[in-house]
Structure 1
Amino acid sequence: MGTLVLAAEEFTPPGAGLFEYPPIFGAVTKPMVLAVLSLIIVAAVFTLGTRKLSIVPSRFQFGLESFYNIPRNTMARDQIGSEDFKRYIPLILGLFSFILVNNIFAIIPVIQFPTLSRIGFPIALALFVYVFYHYAGFKKHGFFGYIKHAALPPGVPVFIAPLIIVIELLQKFLVQPLSLALRVFAAMFAGHLILALTAVGAAFLVSAGSALVIASPVVFAAGIAFTFLEALVQVIQAYVFALLAAVFIGAAISEDH
């Protein structure tokens, strides 16, 4: 029993320090390199996939077209509207692809790090979307027209209009970008921490000796299960981020609130 207690006391679970990387050279860190790498991967895949388009597509072209239809149809067209959605497809497709690749990095051997678990990256993406959809709204409705469009839903009784205006403006100009950034950050941060915990825990149980070794296969199996679950979460979070960007754009340029 003394051995078990001693071993348990020596176990140090991974914490926030897991996400800190020293600069590789100059001020460049691993997450920065991964962000650039993801851009290269996305650009290379779409360049190769569209270089020789044919009526009868190859498997690669068919797969790429199927992937393209997700942001085109279920995000841009459905949320922005059939009249205006085409001009926003590159943005929605780019967001979905970029975030997806960066999220999947978390389960790629050697890389094993989700770029968006560093809060600066989701904040930058959320700010970009924030500026973009408000710009689209101002361009469509004019300055005062867009403020009215964003702040006051039609049919609101006069006596509660001031309260609704405050709530709507806070939601459109503060809550939406914060929730957009924090949602994907929290999911990637927590998921990576759980995967690291299962890996470190399994290795610790093996090295601890005694009866603790018996539990190591269970922890290892849990790590594999969490990896598949995390892969699903990574795809969902990329989808949700791009979908919400389309929803915000659609709301900003719509004729009705």
Structure 2
Amino acid sequence: MIRSAAPLAQDHWPPTVHEFFPPGLGGGSWISKITVLLWIGIAVVIVFFLVAYRRPTIVPTRTQWIAESIYGFIRDGVAREVIGAEGLRFAPYLTSLFCFIAITNIFGVIPLAQISPNSHIAFPALLAIVSYVMFHYVGIRKHGLRKYIRQSLILPGTPPAMYGLLIPLEFLQTFITRPFTLALRLFANMFAGHLILLVFTMGGFVLLGAQTVLLRPASLVSWALAIGLTLFEAGVALLQAYVFVLLTASYLQGALAEEH
């Protein structure tokens, strides 16, 4: 088994785009492994909450307790803490967003899956666009288009002499860069984590098949680092889900505030 694994790793070293973004399933290009994992993630979130709240009881079951704990954490720790009283109506969306990102992120460390859909820029970009449209929509709906744009571009107490400098900067930050930073932060962390795990795992096989005998024991070090980094990556996966939701809540708070 070891003799067959080493040449296989040599054939795939260094890693190429095919290892980062697997080809379509069944030899076709219309559906990919990442797409399948995306739909699995959606199904897991829906089924989990349907099962948890199918028959709610005063003394919750373990599944109901987990669901209520997750919802309570996002409701109280993010929606209410960041947005305020108005944030409670966004708690279901923020909780669903957190669970979906966390699950799709954690796929990166699950055997057989071993890649997060969020390591492909298209999916973080779509999530960022949804949050971007939402916080602008609620801001415009509450304040009106003219007042919302004015509040977004002119900070309270700014002297008129500074308008020429600050208005372009605020416009760039509020209307242009926010969806990019949201998407790129999530994508970069998931892609980098997948890349590091791939390099250390395949690097272990390469070292094991090295012609220099003294290099072969280093394969154990490479695999040990891969295992340790897998645990670290699991923590990063959950942290990035929380950061994405926290920033979304922050943008909603800014859109709803009377003065930005």
TM-score of the aligned structures, taking structure 1 as reference length: 0.92
Which stretch of structure 1 is more off in the superposition, 28-37 or 112-121? 28-37
1:23 maps to 2:17: no
Hey, what does 2:3 align to over in structure 1? none
**In structure 1, what is the Cα distance between the partners aligned to 2:203 and 2:110?**
20
The one-letter amino acid paired with 1:193 is: L
Q: How far is 1:21 from its partner?
A: 2.5
1:64 maps to 2:44: no
> Contact 2:74/2:91 (CA < 8 Å) preserved in 1?
yes
1:22-69: per-residue Cα shift (whole Å, max 9, x none)? 222551111111111101000000111111111111222212211112
Q: How far is 1:11 from its partner?
A: 8.1
Identity %: 40
Hey, what does 1:157 align to over in structure 2? 159
The one-letter amino acid paired with 2:142 is: K
Q: How far is 1:248 from its partner?
A: 0.4
Which stretch of structure 1 is more off in the superposition, 210-219 or 235-244? 210-219
**In structure 1, what is the Cα distance between the partners aligned to 2:242 and 2:175?**
22
The one-letter amino acid paired with 2:15 is: P
> Contact 1:76/1:88 (CA < 8 Å) preserved in 2?
yes
1:222 maps to 2:225: yes
Question: What SS does the aligned partner of 1:22 have?
Answer: coil
> Contact 2:23/2:29 (CA < 8 Å) preserved in 1?
no
Question: Which 5+ residue runs of structure 1 have no aligned equivalent?
Answer: 1-6
The one-letter amino acid paired with 2:24 is: P
Hey, what does 2:93 align to over in structure 1? 91
Hey, what does 1:176 align to over in structure 2? 178
The one-letter amino acid paired with 1:130 is: Y
After superposition, the CA RMSD in angstroms is 1.7
**In structure 2, what is the Cα distance between the partners aligned to 1:160 and 1:178?**
26
**In structure 2, what is the Cα distance between the partners aligned to 1:206 and 1:62?**
47
> Contact 1:19/1:118 (CA < 8 Å) preserved in 2?
no
Question: What SS does the aligned partner of 1:65 have?
Answer: helix
1:233 maps to 2:233: no
Hey, what does 2:14 align to over in structure 1? 13
Hey, what does 1:3 align to over in structure 2? none
Q: How far is 1:244 from its partner?
A: 0.5
The partner residue of 2:80 within 77, 82, 86 is 77
**In structure 2, what is the Cα distance between the partners aligned to 1:208 and 1:13?**
14
Where do 1:38-57 residues align within 5 Å? 38-57=41-60
Question: Which 5+ residue runs of structure 2 have no aligned equivalent?
Answer: 1-6
Hey, what does 1:35 align to over in structure 2? 38
The partner residue of 2:125 within 123, 126, 151 is 123
TM-score of the aligned structures, taking structure 2 as reference length: 0.91
Q: How far is 1:128 from its partner?
A: 0.9
Find runs of 4+ consecutive structure 1 residues off by over 4 angstroms: none
